[in-house]
Structure 1
Amino acid sequence: MASEEFRLVSPAISNEGKLPRKYTQEGQGAQRDISPPLEWYNVPEGTKSLALVVEDIDAPDPSGPIMPWTAWVVVDIPPTVKGLPEGFSGKEEHTVGIREGHNDYKIPGWRCPKLPRHGHRFQFKLFALDDKPDLGHTVTKERLMEAIEGHVLGESILTAVF
């Protein structure tokens, strides 16, 4: 039944799927590079933790091919948590146990790349896991993807365009 589907949404992303400027490096004033609010529904039964990966899936590699750019990694999200508020990234007072991994700038937290042109798609992927993966001290998308192989109970994707 569609209403029971594991869903990821953002109240800040319009029905047209537009990612507002304040969540990018093109934001103005203090309203810049803030992590967007996210909400999720119908977490699969048996979920022990959630993990989020956000990528610019249209990022150009200077040498040519399109190479996804990791903007944010969040792990160890308890299944009882129903979302992340706007500006969650970088806050010291994270919900107990939630950790932010390193993005492709090699720093933890949300960092939207400065885009050479508009029209890039940002893919927010939320994974429901049957275990809490052991990721060590430094979390990266690559480390996470390797650790969750065979442990994904559900995946929800939200795509936004900037």
Structure 2
Amino acid sequence: MASDEFRLVSPEIDKKGRLLRKFTDEGQGARKNWSPPLEWYNVPEGTKALALVVQDIDAPDPSGPIVPWVVWVVTNIPPTLHGLPEGFSGKEEELGGDYAAILEGYNDLKLPGWRGPKLPTHGHRFAFKLYALDDEVHLGNKVTKDKLLEAIEGHVLGEAVLMAKF
């Protein structure tokens, strides 16, 4: 990996690439559905905003094939930030500053913010995809993955992907 490559990492995804239990619906108490910390490096020049989509790419559809399940959608992340802290989801106003501009979209449970998976079996792969954009996206209050991906078409300067398993 080149040292100047746009990349996404998490200090809480272990060396074997596993998403820890506290970031899932199987976590306990206040640490249930806790969003993992993320860090990014080498944001492409000219980036005006970042957007994040996290999906369980091995989610089974009970009536059909494997269909990615949206866990988290985040838009309008200022490029001045270098990451999101652990437990960020739902706290953008509370954290203030550059975090206040961030908008969390709706996941496939039709709820805003991070909703960790509750899986029938373990071994699912989770794709964290961070997009560097040449402009902010303005999608109103009900942002979904599909609306976001449609809006950023032609505006992506770079993508960074982090894979984890649970």
- TM-score, normalised to structure 1, is 0.97
Q: Aligned pair 1:45/2:49, yes or no?
A: no
Deviation at 1:31, TM superposition (A): 2.1
Partner of 2:15: 15
Helix, strand or coil for the counterpart of 1:65? coil
Partner of 2:151: 147
Instruction: Return 5+ residue gaps in structure 2 as ranges.
Output: none
How does 1:8-157 map onto structure 2 within 5 Å? Answer: 8-91=8-91, 92-94=93-95, 95-157=99-161
In structure 2, C-alpha distance between the alignment counterparts of 1:113 and 1:38, rounded to whole Å: 18
Helix, strand or coil for the counterpart of 2:31? coil
Instruction: Give CA-to-partner distance per residue, 1:34-70, whole Å, 9 cap, x none.
Output: 0000000000000000000000000000112000000
In structure 1, C-alpha distance between the alignment counterparts of 2:65 and 2:44, rounded to whole Å: 36
In structure 1, C-alpha distance between the alignment counterparts of 2:126 and 2:105, rounded to whole Å: 17
- Which of the two has greater helix per residue? 2
Corresponding pairs, count:
162
Deviation at 1:30, TM superposition (A): 2.6
What's the Cα RMSD here?
Answer: 1.1
Percent identity, aligned pairs only, is 72
Instruction: Return 5+ residue gaps in structure 1 as ranges.
Output: none
Deviation at 1:33, TM superposition (A): 1.1
In structure 1, C-alpha distance between the alignment counterparts of 2:30 and 2:116, rounded to whole Å: 15
